Amino acid sequence: MAGHRLVRRHEQNPILTPDNVPYPVATVHNAAVIRHNDRYVMLFRAHLRNGHSVIGMAESGDGFRFKVRPEPWLTPAGDGVFGEYEAFGVEDPRICRIDGAYYITYSAYSAHGVRIALARTEDFQHVERIALITQADYRNVVLFPQRFNGRYARLDRPHTDSTPWSIWISYSSDLIHWGESRRLMASLPYHWDELKIGPGATPFATDRGWLHIFHGVFQTMNGAVYRLGAALHALHDPARIVAVTDEWILEPEEPWERSGYVPNVVFCCGAVPEADGTVKIYWGGADTVMCAGSADIEELVDACLQRPRPALPDSNGK
């Protein structure tokens, strides 16, 4: 894509590869990143060589050069209900800070399908699993970092045969039991995201709304292409979409985004807004390596507001 780029790639991409991990892994991707004290903490997904995923942890002083801890951070539970539902692996974490604690939502895979689990940590040393917070056939749950009228909110993505996989919102008073779900955003026919969309990074507040970086997928004769878009949700009512970018903000371009474990994928699970008005954006490249870049928050907001597209198709399917 020619012209001005909203997301500027870091010159040292990929910033993390399987070679940087001190235990045997085939991939390092789909990582969440958050600032904890004066460090950046990354929780990444890594495929083991049996095809199951674990979650590893890396730390950084500058948000770009990460050092991986010697052991995986979260591996499938050995017993109990989590053991039953995580038997095939734990994937695609997201981190959200609420009231001083960090909540991690991740995909739990098993013979029963994929559902979302919630864990909590205060220091990234000790982690406590709290609950499985969806039924089967859900992925990509991101929490909002504050309550709305006393209730927590999340964006989620149920799988369904009758509609394209879309972004929904649900509410909870305890982070465990969720309901009042509504469909907020869907892919548009013959658009870059026409196959499906899903939540990406934990939303962050801007003066014009919550900015949410999501992924959209286009099916080609040569397989699916995963790209990123941005949406703005009203600050006091995240169920109200203010605007969605008509164009993608990032697509696979670099060799390590176009080829790897799954080709032509950029997939985002984390973004860190900075005091200087930029946001660091993290994405998995081809489900194999971690990449990072930065963007001006105002430019992303403007891209949503100045070149918007409908959040949901109209009744004629457009």
Cβ proximity to ligand BMA, 200 vs 293, nearer residue: 200
Q: How far apart are CA 128 and CA 134, in angstroms?
A: 18
Instruction: Supply the minimum distance, in Å, between the C-beta of residue 116 and ligand BMA.
Output: 13
Instruction: Supply the minimum distance, in Å, between the C-beta of residue 70 and ligand BMA.
Output: 25
Q: Which residues of the chain form contacts with ligand BMA (CB under 6 A)? A: 30, 91-92, 226, 262, 265, 267, 284, 287
Which token pair is 196?
């499906």
Instruction: Supply the minimum distance, in Å, between the C-beta of residue 125 and ligand BMA.
Output: 26
DSSP per position, 224-254: EEEEEEEEEE-SS-TTSEEEEESS-SB---S
Specify the pairing of strand 223-233 against strand 241-245.
Answer: antiparallel
Instruction: Supply the minimum distance, in Å, between the C-beta of residue 261 and ligand BMA.
Output: 8
Q: Which residue minimizes CB distance to ligand BMA?
A: 262
Instruction: Supply the minimum distance, in Å, between the C-beta of residue 136 and ligand BMA.
Output: 15
Cβ proximity to ligand BMA, 152 vs 282, nearer residue: 282
- What's the helix, strand, coil split of the chain in %, to 5? 5, 50, 45
Cβ proximity to ligand BMA, 31 vs 211, nearer residue: 31
CB 157, CB 137: distance < 8 Å: no
Q: Which residues of 37-62 are buried (b: 16+ CB within 10 A; e: fewer)?
A: eeebbbbbbbbbeeebbbbbbbebee
Cβ proximity to ligand BMA, 49 vs 236, nearer residue: 49
Cβ proximity to ligand BMA, 53 vs 170, nearer residue: 53
Q: How far apart are CA 135 and CA 240, in angstroms?
A: 25
Cβ proximity to ligand BMA, 159 vs 183, nearer residue: 159
Query: To which H or E segment does residue 308 belong?
Result: strand 308-309
User: Residue 200 CA to chain centroid, in angstroms?
Assistant: 3
Instruction: Supply the minimum distance, in Å, between the C-beta of residue 267 and ligand BMA.
Output: 4
